[in-house]
Structure 1
Amino acid sequence: MKKNNTHLYLAASPGLEVQEALKEGIAAAIMNIPETAVEVSETQLRVDFDGDAVIFSDESENVFRDHGLAAFLEHEKKNVDVPMNDVWIVTN
């Protein structure tokens, strides 16, 4: 994948390719296929991103890393209506 200058590997299901991408330091994700098909325009592309600290604040990620899943979930519930701190966009 590195030979092909891959920056993001997307797969329809978990498999060896996803693990290979991650081991090579390439961002990888498994695309969620909905249970029921929804007809959409052929000219429209819809993408959901979990931005983590790349696009959004890393505050919640730090809570998870330092205090575990229960603390992360509590932090998310407690702050659901609180705007995020300043956002840093990472660019090349």
Structure 2
Amino acid sequence: MTDVVSYPKGDLRRMLSVLAAIDSIPDATLVKVVAKTGLDNKTVSNLITQAGEQAGVKITKAGPVYTLESWGPIIKRSGAKMALTGALNTPSVEVLP
């Protein structure tokens, strides 16, 4: 059983769930992240790479253990948590010029 809701392919929350899993699991290995997110090994590995390349997230790997060193300049930890908990699912408001 996974701890994180399943999101469709291409959904940003898939990447956020991987980052949140790495951030929250002590000694986060690929096996543990896969178990927590419900995603397969290849998808998790690809999302970790994408997070670094596309969002400047800094993840280090020492042996089998991943560590999230920095969420980078684009993603904020608090915003990621809000997206994963559904807090951002509010009606959009039109901004007038």
TM-score (norm 1): 0.24
TM-score (norm 2): 0.23
Which one has a larger percent helix, Structure 1 or Structure 2?
2
Q: Which has the higher contact order (CA 8 A, sep 6+)?
A: 2
